[in-house]
Each structure stands twice: as structure tokens, then as C-alpha cells.
Amino acid sequence: MDWEPTALGRLLTRAVPWRFELHGCYFSLTRPGSDTIAGHLSEIARAALAPGVFWSTCRFLLADGREAMVGGISNAQAARMQEAIDRATGESLAAALTSEFLERFSRWFDARIDEALPNSGEWAEPEQVDAVLAAAESVPSVGADLDLHRVLSHRLFSLPPDVDEATLAKLRSPRDVLLALQEAHDLALFSAKFREWREEASNEATSSGTRWWSHSATLRALARCPAPQHPARGWLLVPAMGACSSPVEVLEAQRETFNGVHLERERRELEKFFATVEKSPLTAEQIDAVVCFDDHELVVAAAGSGKTSTMVAKAGYALERDLCRPEQILLLAFNSDAAKELDERINSRLADTPGVDGITAKTFHSFGKEVIRVATGQKPMLAPWLEREGQDIHQMVDIVETLCTADPAFASDWQTFRVVLAQDIGRWDLPDDPEDWDSTSGERGFRTAQGEIVRSKEERTIADWLFYHDISYRYEEPYSQPTADLDHRQYVPDFYFPEIDLYYEHFALDANGRAPAHFEPGYERSAQWKRDLHARMGTHLIETTSHELRSGIAFDKLRAALIERGLAPVLNPHRAPERNPQVEGRELARSFRTFQQHVKSNGLSYGDLERRIEQQTKYGFEARLRIYLAIYRKLSDEWERRLRAGGYIDFDDMLTQAADLLDAGRYDSPYLVVLADEFQDSSNARARLLRGLMHSAKGPAHLCVVGDDWQAINRFAGADISIMSQFERWFARPERRMLTTTFRCPQDLCDASSDFVSANPAQINKRVSTTNPRTAPSLYVFAAASKDQLSQVVYQKLAALVRKLGEPGEWTADRRPFVMLLSRYGKFGRPDELDAWVAEFSSSIDLSFSTVHKSKGLEADYVLLLNMVEATLGFPCKIEDDPVLELAMPEADPFLFAEERRLFYVALTRARQETWLFTTRATPSQFVIELHKQGCLSTLEGEDAWEVPTPCPGCGRGLLALRFGPYKPFQGCSRYPQCEYTEPPRKDQVALATCPSCRSGHIVRRNGKNGPFLGCSGYRKHDCRWTSDIRAHALQMNRRGD
């Protein structure tokens, strides 16, 4: 077949004469003036036509890159030519792969496989493929005029029916297929080695007598049985590994499966042991915690969930399964009472176990002493001034007195801090909430030692410095010259010194002369106006700024200005204040003792404390912090000198020195099982001691710590909740177990308390259930009309409870009911009538009082939580930790009232039957309001339903309470003087205040012949003659917050 252009086509398209001939699988293209192109059709990569109106242009693209273009052929002829070329090309390409060729190629490729693949059990070498192909004879030819690669890569090539994809892959790239076969060989070899290793390592990990497969057993197995390594691939790329990215993860997955089977087997085989080791059978969660014997185990135990039983059972289980000897078990408790209880429970419940008396139960401090004794060869002596409570404060006071006598600079710092700097001035960038108010002027602010109210804490500090340096001053006395105009009121300088005619302004400006963001605009312009005014009037002005006061410059600047004008400030710490009593030396010494305990417990150096001060310098009172630290350094140095002189240690040394000795490898721990109680109260030193015990153990050791982060309430004593919440930062790869079944509280009390405390997202989440069958409401609230009536309401409800419990069938237990009164505070919370109540009800109930802190670990049938009011000394406590103590304390939880919430949770969960909250109608605790909003609070039958007071629209933080002004009642904010919002009372509030005389009527405003006065609404009904001067009563009631 041949094709060529038509005469007309050549004429009109000016095409040169050409001729294309097709003979079987060969072609030729001749053109005048050009070489003839001829060859096998596979050499034509593509014949492309571009049809025009009548004639087409034909473009031939050759495999070697050449190109030929011809034209002048009709569209129809061109289409037939392209179809013929494509059909003939396809047929010739398919015919090229003859059976004879395929057989020759197969023999050639099999020979290359034998040369490229290694022997069984050996890894392949990829470079061998290239060497084999280079040394081998060339790939068999498909024909004299054909190139195999060109055939297979041609666009018109289609796989013949008798050729499969695997053969095609070999034909296209023998090298790639040989490399793939090598990789398959290596993967098969690795999989075999992997299975062999996994079995060997698993057997090694479980070969010890612990039975439980621990994480450290995994690491030991890896050390003794190194994992196979693929020569070319990482573990993530090896299919046999599945989702495991390392040998450790492979064994850890095996470990999880193994331990699950082990746990179920132990449940069955030791069913009797778990049912009898304690008075009540262990729960499934307790058994899980007991059987788990990983390296580091954290047991999170809800209140009343039997953590002591779990610890006793774990010790018994270790002996039952011969995991260790009795003398290799150590139980550590937070205090001596808890250690004694553990020891008694161990010896009682495990009495039939041989050698049980060899188990050691100690406090952390007692054990620390033992470590020091063994490691140093000398028995440490506790300093004699620490043997009885309070003696350490006596010693600190003695050190203060000694230093004051010997060191005038120390005496000056001590007395200055005590009388001037004892109160912090807060953060510069935050507004001050007023703390007091003047009943005459109505001014709100801060009370000074001289007795006046000033506007800021900074001004109070300055005023107290002046007062205790015997400098006479007047606060905000009008300026000597009139200044009032259209833009300014009469100017009142901050301070004026009449003896030397000197004015003093203290501006709230930073180092750059800028005011805080919360100040009104124009403050900086106002400061400049005052400077200009003094310059214009020729009056003398000294000024200081917030930056100067906080950095320590201000007092030096003020002192120099006073001396220059003839006044010599001399500190007089013995001057009696008009208001605001001084901090007693003993109380300040107590502060430094507390600070010292935090410093030593947390292992802080002076350098650490300096760095912490740097973190507070931007907005804090740097000068105060530095004076405090300077005082502390001298006190601490003398304390330590006295310890060294007597060869003594203190309680903090018992822990820190023991931890140091453990870290230094000077104590070989004989203990393989260490159980620690109340872990939520752990300090840095306790955590270090436990970690050191694990590292120094002679053999695989097990640490089990038990605690409840919901009950972490001892930050003031050095406890750091992050040690429990971030347990893995201290102890690698821990196992966590939960004890969420309580044997104490009714379910509704569990739900209310759990929801309350877990509002803080940082708390470990758990849902608590109970074995207590009680279904009746268990959480009640009682609201007194005023604070003065709280004790009376408590007595009434207590008496009613005693009467109720005395009714037939009401109390069926074979013991007397136990009622516990709880308060946030001891001295200020203990009812004055408590002794009388105990005597009156002694024949019916057991009645006791405790602070919430001391009640931890206790339980009662009925718990009465007193003084649940919103106040500085309310619940929650509004007294913030002093920034100087923050320098040494563990980092606080940022959640609002986080520790107070946990403390309230402890209070709520002491009851087996009911918890009663006692508050006032006007100032209930925000915690009580929160429970009320959650629908958790009930009232007893016959009681009026308690209504939550209206939130203050002014500040949004206080509550509106009925108050009595000089002329009429009103509603005011419970946070006064911080907030001075008022509004008229509701009609149903006008007669709410209870008469203090008859206790049945209410205080009402009456009009008499001499003016208005207050009287009792029961004047006619009850003949109550109580009256009061309306102004005096208003002052008294407003101060009390009633």
C-alpha cells in the first residue's frame, strides 16, 4: 500500500511530492531532496494528522527523535493512511513477542536470579544485581530489526493474551525485578528472624518470678535479645511490624496481651485470697491494682475507695505469690498516725503469713533518717527544737533576736519589713480592690497605720514608711493656692509635710512614664499639670513613681529629700499605730520558717530564688522580695550553722539528704516492693526519695503510689500536685489504675462532689460509684438570716437530728451515730458552744469538731459544714498567698480557687449518710451557689426553700444583700467596700432582718417624735420593745455584712 499527494493538493498547498509505502511491518517515506526514511513500523512513535478543509498535513514522529512533515493529501486518504499504519504497527508489535523469544528470555532471566539472590539465611546485596547484569550476556533480541524496549514502550503495544504482567515486568526492567526479588528475600528472612526473636524476647521478659510482665522486663529482654535489623529498611517500613515503630513497641504490645491474660488467671486462682485479705472482698478495680506489678504504678483512689485495703492486699499478694520476701517490702506514709495504721493493718490482716512482721511501715521522714544512718554510718539526731510542735518557731525567733543584736543592717531590714513592708502592694498592672472604708467621709481604700484611708496600696506603704519614721504628714490636704477652673477641680496633693513646706506626689507610672492600662485616659497629662503647677507657683515638690517604689529607689529618694530640708527619718518600729496593728515578730518568724521549709523541700538554692524574683520584677514589688530574701538568707545561714554546730538535722534534711545519698549511690536499697500513701501530697523531696529507691534497688523493683488528686490540699505545706498529675515526668512508663468505687458516701453525694471538683479540667477525670445503698437526698443547705444566727441554726438542726435519730427504727446500726462538725478554720471556725453541745448530746451521739484539713481520712455518719459564707475568711478563703512565699512554693494551679475547691470536695465526702451546709441568706459561699445551680442541694421537710441572692450588677462578683442606711434600707453589694453598687430593696425584703431581741419579729423603720428609728415588727404582737438608733445600727450591720 502506498499514499501520495494529489496534483490539486500539491498545487493549492504547495506541498512537495512525496510517497509513503507500507509493506507488512515495514515502511518507507521518500521526499525530493531528502533521504529516504525506512524501517520497521516500531520506529514510528506516532503518525499525527492535522486535517484542513480539504487536505491534511501528516507529521511522522520517529523513535530516534527525527520528524518528517508532508501535506497535500486529501482528508479521507490521510485518515485511511493513519488507520493502516496504526493497525499494521499494532499487529507487528504483538507478533514480536514470539513463544520462542519468551522461552529464550525466561532461561536468561532465571540464570540472573540464581546469580543475584544469596543463599538461605543471608542478606541480599543490591549492588550484586548491577554486577550480575554487567557480566551477563545481553538480553535476548526480539528480532534483527527490533528493539525490545521500543516494542514494549510503544504507545500501540498491547500485551498478548499468552503473556502475563509478571513476565512483562521482567521484560521491561530485569534490574528492577531482580532488586524486588532480593527485597522479598530479605523481608522473608527478616520475618523469620523477627518471629524467632519475638518468641525469644517474650520468654526472656517473662522468665523471672514476677509473673507480671513489666516495662523494665521489656528493656532487659531487649538488652539480652537484640532485635533483628533489616539491612535496608527501618522498623516503620517493615510490613511484619504492623503499627509498631520499634522493637520496644512490639514487645509492649505483647506485654499488654500477656498481662491481661495474667490478670484474669490471678482473679480465678486467688479468688479466696482477694475475698478474705480484708474485711470486705476486694473490688475488681482493687484486684487490678493489686495484681499490677509494673515498675511504676499510680493508683488514683477516690475518697473512701479503700486505698489502705489495696496497699495491705498488695503486700499480701506479693508474699502469696513469692514475689519478694517480707523484709523487701516498704510502706511509706505521710504522717506517723497513717504509718501506725498501715503497720497495724498489715499485722492484723496478714497475721497468718510467715515473717509478716518483717515488713517495714514508716513515715517518709523516719525512713529518710534510716537512709542517712545506713549511708553515712552515723545515726542522725533531730534538732531538739523540733521535737515538740511550735519549738521551731521559738528557735527562729531566737535567731532573729540574736541577729538583730549583732547585725544593725539585719535589724533595720527586719523591722522595716515587719512594720512597713509586711503587706504586699499587688501587681502594678491590675487594679486594687478597696479593703476598707471611712464611715464619715464614705471614702473607700486602704487603712494606714496613722488611721486614714488612702487610695492605693502603694500610697499605704509610703504612708506607713513615713509614720514609722516619725515624719509628720497630711494626706490629700488641699493645695495652698486655688486651682479650680473649667478644666480642673481644686488640687489635693498626695502628701504634704507641714514642717518643711514640702509637697509629695506619688505617680502610678512605670519606668517609661506610662500609667497602667486600667487607669483613666489623661493620667499622664494630669501628672505633668501638677509638676507645672508647682513650678509656676514656686512650691516645692518631690515625686516618686510606681517603678521607683517597686524597684527600691523611692524610699532612698524620699529620705534624701527629707534630710536635705532638715528632717532626718529614723525608723521607730515601736511606735503604736492608730489603726492596722503591726505584724508581730513571732508571726513574721513563722512566715520565714514556712518559707525555709518550702525552699529546702523543693531543693532551691539562693540562685534559684534570685531567678524567681526576676520573673516577678515586671509587675511585682521587687524591692520587698529582695529585702525578704536578704533577711531569709541570714536567718537560714544561722539556722544551718546551729544545726551543724550540734550535729543535728531538721525534718527537711531527713528527706533531702536521704535523696542526695540515694542519687549519689551511697545507699543500696534492700526493698523490691515500695508502696507510698497520700501521693497527692508529695513534695519534690519525697518524689526524689522514691525515685532514688527505684534506682538503687538490687533487682527489679516495683513502686506503687496511691493518692487522689481531687484531695490535694497541702500546697501550703510543700505539696506539689503536679508530681501526681504529671507522674510520668518523674517515673518512666507508669501504669495507672483507678479506684472509683467508694464504700462511704451515698451516690448523690458522690455525683455532686465529683461534678464540683472536676469543673477544673486539670483534675484527673473519674466517675465515682458507691456501695452505699442510700437513695434519699444526702446534701442539704440551711440558711440563717445573719451571721450572728448561724450558731443558733446549727444548734437547732443538731437537736432536731438527735431527736430524729432517737425515733424507733431510724438508727439501726449497732453503734452510736457519729456527727462531725467541720470548718474551714480552726480558731475562727470552732463554735463557742461546742463543749456545751457535746455535753448535752453525749447520751445520744458522738459529736466532734475538726478543720477540713484535719478531717482528711476521717468519716462520720453526718457532717455539718459550718460558716459556708462569702467573706475574706469564708469558704473559699479569699486570702491570697503572699508573693514572697510564692518564690519557694510549687507552681499554683491557675484554675480559680483550685485548692479551695479540692478542700471543699474533701469536706463533702466525709459523710456516710448526709452532709449539711450552713450559710446565710445574704452572703452564701459561691460554692454553695454553684451546688444550688447544679440542683444538688435539698432542704428538710418543713424548711423554707432557700433562694440564691441576686448577683451584683455592678461588679458581677458579689451578691446583693439588704442593708440599712441612715434613712432607709437598700440593697448593697456583699463585696463592699470593693464594690459600692446599691439599688432599692424589693418589697418583700423590707422586713427581712430578724429582731436581735425576740428573734421572731423583723427590724422595721418607724417614725417617732424625735425622728426615724428602728424597731421590731412584733411590737404589738409580741410586745417586743427593742429599738435602735438608725445610724448606729446601720454602721454595725454594714460592717458585719448582714
Q: Which residues contact 338 (CB under 8 A, 6 or more apart)?
A: 363, 677, 678, 857
Half-sphere exposure of 815 (CA within 13 A, CB side): 6
Q: How many helices (H) and strands (E) does the chain have?
A: 34, 35
What residues does 673 pair with on adjacent strands? 329, 702
Residues 185 and 304 in one domain: no
Of 518, 540, 564, which one is at a domain's C-terminal end? 564
24 within domain boundaries: yes
What's the DSSP call for residue 1021?
T
Q: CA 685, 686, 690: angle at the middle one, nearest 5? A: 120
**C-alpha to C-alpha distance for 190 and 230, rounded to whole angstroms:** 6
947 within domain boundaries: no
**C-alpha to C-alpha distance for 381 and 373, rounded to whole angstroms:** 10
Question: What pLDDT score was predicted for residue 988?
Answer: 59
The CATH number linked to 854 is: 3.40.50.300
- What is the DSSP pairing of strand 502-507 with strand 444-447? unpaired
Residues 37 and 178 in one domain: no
The CATH number linked to 78 is: 2.30.29.210
**C-alpha to C-alpha distance for 461 and 458, rounded to whole angstroms:** 5
Residue pair 959/976 in contact (Cβ under 8 Å)? The answer is no
Question: What pLDDT score was predicted for residue 190?
Answer: 87
Residues 12 and 75 in one domain: yes
pTM more than 0.75: yes
Q: Which residues of 350-381 are buried (b: 16+ CB within 10 A; e: fewer)?
A: beebeebeebbbbbbbebbbbbbebbeeeebe
Domain range spanning residue 10? 2-96
Residue pair 122/88 in contact (Cβ under 8 Å)? The answer is no
**C-alpha to C-alpha distance for 736 and 565, rounded to whole angstroms:** 71
Residues 453 and 503 in one domain: yes
Question: What pLDDT score was predicted for residue 942?
Answer: 61
Number of domains in the chain: 6
pLDDT lower than 50: segments of the chain: 991-992, 1033-1042
From residue 187, alpha-carbon distances to 192, 229, 245, 446, 902 in Å are 9, 11, 16, 80, 56
Residues 919 and 970 in one domain: no
Of 50, 77, 96, which one is at a domain's C-terminal end? 96
461 within domain boundaries: yes
Place of cell 521535737: 387
Residues 7 and 85 in one domain: yes
Residues 280 and 151 in one domain: no
User: Would you tell me how many other CB atoms lie within 10 Å of the CB of residue 779?
Assistant: 22
Three-class DSSP category at 874 = coil
Residues 792 and 891 in one domain: yes
- What is the DSSP pairing of strand 444-447 with strand 453-454? antiparallel
Residues 250 and 154 in one domain: yes
Of 539, 564, 589, which one is at a domain's C-terminal end? 564
The CATH number linked to 1034 is: 3.30.65
Residues 758 and 893 in one domain: yes
921 within domain boundaries: yes
**C-alpha to C-alpha distance for 549 and 557, rounded to whole angstroms:** 10
Q: Identity (one letter) of the amino acid at 570?
A: V
Q: Identity (one letter) of the amino acid at 479?
A: Y
The CATH number linked to 483 is: 3.40.960.10
Question: What pLDDT score was predicted for residue 1040?
Answer: 43
Known binding-site positions for ATP: 301-308
764 within domain boundaries: yes
Q: CA 973, 976, 982: angle at the middle one, nearest 5? A: 40
586 within domain boundaries: no
Known binding-site positions: 301-308
Residues 306 and 350 in one domain: yes
Three-class DSSP category at 861 = strand
Residues 739 and 754 in one domain: no
DSSP codes, 401-449: HHHHHH-HHHHHHHHHHHHTSSS----TTSPPPP-EE-TTT--EEEE-T
Three-class DSSP category at 502 = strand
Half-sphere exposure of 513 (CA within 13 A, CB side): 7
663 within domain boundaries: no
399 within domain boundaries: no
